[in-house]
A and B are shown apart, each in its own frame.
Chain A
């Protein structure tokens, strides 16, 4: 008996679409060019614009990421860096490639997360998806072969998984963060930036300011302003 009540209540909740909505569909009231009242007004639209990059610009981006990895690696793993790191190890590990025996947490969580943020960094700088993957490949390979060897030899899994699985994860984060950022609400924007921090920085090229204008008569316009 209780189960039937719960089921009925569940069905009632599930199919009560109009409980909190207006009596008539607001879209019916829309004139051509009028803003959809069901959506929040947003000042900025977030997205990505792909553009070509010169060799010099691409090299600058790779160099910047490379420099950051030399700072981030010891900063995020100070114990490993201190206990296992040495230039003697660097010399011994240079050119070595092994299968690491790390736990799944590192290979299936930490490295793909790092790779996804690399991918999103390059996306924020105007690279296409496949170019971002390629650039992530270059950056993570440089890290594996010339930075991480200070403590351990380069790993086959990391070389492949960081950029490739990282880019697949990055693609998901990209779509989810854009949805949240364009939702126009505070929580959505917070979560969108948290998932895709590259959208917070000056180099992010996809933030478009939307300025609605109305001339007081019957026509209006929407101006998009983008910084380069």
Chain B
């Protein structure tokens, strides 16, 4: 009963002394740790760095944003199947995620002047892998090819944000974001002509490639 009362108190307490009812753009940098659970039950781990943007509307306690999380990194020993070819290799990857996220900012301050928030949403992602060294089961894959996975899945965030009366004071936020995504479509793309890339194959993912992403982000309200 006590827990319910505390939850109700937190949700209905609207005494935040913060800027409200305005559009705002936030941006910052971050690091990410991804795990791709590949077709042969193996796991590929990737660590990357990048940046994030959040553009949306701040109500009193609620904030609704369109977000993007982008990061790049290196990957070793990636295993996948594409176009009936099994490939193992190392190279570079990038991840671009877009999606709406709703946040609730609590009155609770784990640090003085910093309010806790929780967020949830849905992300649509494009993971691109460009292999530099690889072995393939036949010769149809070459080093100008890149692999694109289109994935989607739910996203959850927990973070703290400075509580400031005006957005022009550039409040800082720090958040931990988790997303669990399932790959829906895999494409092999020929990048020989960088101005006009060619999609070699696109197939619905039957491999049940699942990715989980942890991101630690920090940024400021730009305007």
Contact = CB atoms under 8 A, between A and B. Distances in A.
A134 interface: yes
Interface of B: 22-25, 27, 53, 55, 66, 68, 94, 96, 98, 124, 126, 146, 148, 150, 187, 189, 191, 194-197, 199, 222-223
A168 B191 CA distance: 28
Contacts, number: 55
A160 B68 contact: yes
Interface residues of B, dominant DSSP:
strand
Nearest to B149: A99
A103 B53 CA distance: 21
A220 B146 CA distance: 67
Contacts of A183: none
B53 A168 contact: yes
B197 A101 contact: yes
A130 B68 contact: no
Interface residues of A, dominant DSSP:
helix
A214 B187 CA distance: 72
A80 B196 contact: yes
Interface string A153-173: 000110011001101100100
Interface residues of A, number: 20
A98 to B, nearest CB: 9
A101 B199 contact: yes
A107 B15 CA distance: 42
Contacts of B223: 129-130, 133, 171
A171 B222 contact: yes
B150 A164 contact: no
A56 B126 CA distance: 39
Contacts of B66: 160, 164
Given A99-B150, A130-B25, A164-B55, A104 B94 contact: yes
B148 A101 contact: yes
B148 to A, nearest CB: 5
Contacts of A23: none
Contact of B25 (A105, A161, A168): A168
Contact of A157 (B53, B126, B197): B126
